[in-house]
Amino acid sequence: MEGIIYDPIEHVPSPIRSGPLSETPDHRPTEPPKQPNKSDAMSPEQLAEAKRYGRQSLVCDLADRALDIVYLGVMALVLARPIDRWLQSWPLLDRWWTLRLTAMFAIVFAAHVAVSFLLSAYSGHVLEHRFGLSNQTFGAWLWRYVKRILLAGVFGLAMFVGLFWLIWTTGSYWWLFAAGAFFLVSVLLGQLAPVLIMPLFHKIVPLDYPELQERLGRLVEGTGLSIEGVYRLDLSEETSKANAMLAGLGRTRRVLLGDTLINECGPDELEVIFAHEIGHHVFRHIHKLIFIGLVYSTIGFWVCDRLIAIWVGPIAGGINGYALLPVYVLPLIMLILTVFTNLIEPIQNIISRRFERQCDRYALARTGRREAYLSAFRKLAKLNKDDPDPHWLETFLFHSHPPIGQRLAMAESLDRSTRQSPAHGS
């Protein structure tokens, strides 16, 4: 699923700002709807603050990536074999390889949580408070962090135990079976995320906003998009940041609008944002990304196979050789996949940014609301303290969405006849 500002899959467990969450009925405030206004642009002081926040967030992100690679490198190349020998000293673990693999994963995972906790707390809690983006107490942030870790631990254990079983049972072509399993898991998570995973971190309720729902219904006409419903995503319990997304696959596909977004944007702006999300369906971006993920995973698992053979030694004997793949290889697989993911991220981001630009143009053409588009993105930049013009290298390496400055420039440069096209179904 794609968010208009950032990828919500990555941010499902992200730390966010809040004041006390109102328990009033789920509808728009009774004030008159906010209208597009050029004063929504950042002031020089706000722009400087957004750049500081962007730089410090980037430093934290780079530190986190480096910590992951160094930690997994030490674990894979230095500590994994001694740990495996120690685990084999326990008779039960020596006999049952799956139990020993589970124990190895628990040690690697728990130690990583321990060494990365301070950085997670700083980037997720301290930094967000410093820039006025989070109202969470440390206890609230910690509980959210614990839920995130537990979910990641359970999912990670299932994934790596399943991966090793594929290696042990399918032999030299395990990487093909693993890529197929990755595809199936991606589809399953796409269906389950909005109904099972996201509610663990956010309150999600049906949106009671008749005017907006009527507009959204008209936008969907003729697109072939079937939506289970439009929902309010209660971000304000934790953050002042805003986001919107088209989440789920098949029967679970739904529109999620952050309450922070609803409270700050008028109907025209929300209509443009929703049209952007429809664009992901019209251009079949979710399906394309799943297919691209299948290609990447096939390459990544093949690279794993080749590097495992080098590290462990030539795996001879076909399926019988792979059936003896030692448990101490687990951290090495984690390391290889982590490095591979970082290396291909710029390519994935190029594709993602292209998709986002497609959806921006679609939203403008579909609605004809250029001023609302400009106003919405100016507001989003202010709410999220998003640097509208980051360094090009940062964008190339790490950004899945175009900088807001580029998105505004695109809309401002449209031919007059395009901008003044009649709004569809208005």
- Arithmetic mean of pLDDT, 123-133: 96
Asked whether residue 52 is assigned to any structural domain, the reply reads no
Contact between 178 and 300 (Cβ < 8 Å): no
Tens-place pLDDT, residues 244-285: 887 877 777 888 889 999 999 999 999 999 899 889 989 999
pLDDT per residue as tens digits for the range 89-122: 999 999 999 999 999 999 999 999 999 999 999 9
Tokens 């807001």 -> residue:
404
Q: Is 40 inside any structural domain?
A: no
Mean pLDDT of 379-385: 93
Residue with tokens 């430093």: 59
The mean pLDDT value for 221-250 works out to: 84
Greater confidence, 9 or 138? 138
Once rounded to an integer, what is the mean pLDDT over residues 58-70? 97
In a domain, 313, yes or no: yes
What token pair was written down for 237?
Answer: 């319990």
Which residues, at least 6 apart from 245, have a Cβ–Cβ distance to it below 8 Å? 1, 2, 3, 4, 8, 255, 256, 277
Residue 317, domain member (yes or no): yes
Sequential DSSP letters for 90-118:
SHHHHH-HHHHHHHHHHHHHHHHHHHHHH
pLDDT at residue 14 in the model: 31
Whether 425 has a pLDDT exceeding 70, the answer reads no
Structural domain contains residue 51: no
Q: Is the pLDDT of residue 35 over 70?
A: no
**HSE of 141 in the Cβ direction (CA atoms, 13 Å)?**
24
The pLDDT > 90 percentage for the chain reads 62
pLDDT tens column, 338-350: 999 999 999 999 9
Distance between CA 70 and CA 115 in Å, rounded? 11
Q: List all residues 6 or more positions away from 349 whose beta carbon is below 8 Å from its beta carbon.
A: 396, 397, 398, 399, 400
Per DSSP, 329 falls in state G
Contact indicator for 260, 239 with CB cutoff of 8 Å: yes
Tens-digit pLDDT profile for residues 138-168: 999 999 999 999 999 999 999 999 999 999 9
Please provide the average confidence, as pLDDT, over all residues in the chain.
Answer: 85
Residues 131/385, Cβ–Cβ less than 8 Å: yes
Whether 9 has a pLDDT exceeding 50, the answer reads: no
What is residue 118's predicted lDDT score, i.e. its pLDDT?
Answer: 98
- For the chain, give me the number of helices (H) and strands (E)? 18, 5
Residue 204 lies in a domain: yes
Helix (H) or strand (E) holding 159: helix 138-170
- Over range 178-188, report the average pLDDT: 91
Task: Give how many domains the chain has, as a whole number.
Answer: 1
253 contacts 150 by C-beta, under 8 angstroms: no
Looking at per-residue pLDDT, the higher value among 381 and 312 belongs to: 381
The answer to whether position 46 is within a domain reads no
What's the mean pLDDT in 302-329?
Answer: 79
Mean pLDDT value across residues 52-57: 97
Cβ contact 130:166 at 8 Å: no
pLDDT tens per residue, range 196-222: 888 989 899 988 888 888 888 888 888
Residue 209 structural domain: 2-14+57-419
Average pLDDT value for residue range 183-207: 87
Distance of alpha carbon 356 from alpha carbon 421, whole angstroms: 21
Confidence of residue 323 (pLDDT cuts 50, 70, 90): confident
Residue 264 lies in a domain: yes
